Structure 1
Amino acid sequence: MPAPDRIVRLNTLLVRTGLSRSTIYRKIADGTFPPQIRISINAAGWRESDVNRWVANPVTWRPTEEVGDVR
């Protein structure tokens, strides 16, 4: 059984990527950065595995289509 995917919040994301908040949201809108997921009514985060894939190769990153994945 694979390890569960962690959810990282914006502050962690800023440190990991070195990008600004506005750049992250612009890249999400452009489809060149992993989209956030809702954690609760007032909170959102990113799947750590998606962020790791982006950090490994930010130039060619594209969203993956997973079966049953609702984003």
Structure 2
Amino acid sequence: MRLIRLKEVKHVTGLGRSTIYKYIEDGVFPKSVSLGERAVAWVESEVMAWVMTRIEARDRHYSLAVVSQLKAA
């Protein structure tokens, strides 16, 4: 298991700091792990699973849109 810091989470997701923390608050992003009094990190596999879920949702939406267009034609 690998822990990644905020800088890498931002790089991997393309999200900003405030958006990441808002998503955590909303329960739609993996929670951070406390490393000490002023340090946190995220489990890399959890962040990557979140990214993959977003990609799969995009692909499902795209597939449904294509099927709808074909039915309308």
TM-score (norm 1): 0.73
Q: Which runs of structure 1 show a deviation greater than 2 angstroms over 4 or more consecutive aligned residues?
A: none
The size of the alignment, in residue pairs, is 56
Shift in Å at residue 26 of structure 1? Answer: 0.4
Mapped partners of 1:42, 1:21: distance in 2 = 16
Match of 1:48 in 2: 44
Match of 2:29 in 1: 33
Q: Percent identity?
A: 41
Higher helix proportion? 2
Larger Rg belongs to: 2
CA RMSD of aligned residues (A): 1.5
1:58 to 51, 54, 71: 54
Provide structure 1 residue ranges, at least 5 long, that are not aligned to the other structure.
Answer: 61-71
TM-score (norm 2): 0.71
Provide structure 2 residue ranges, at least 5 long, that are not aligned to the other structure.
Answer: 58-73
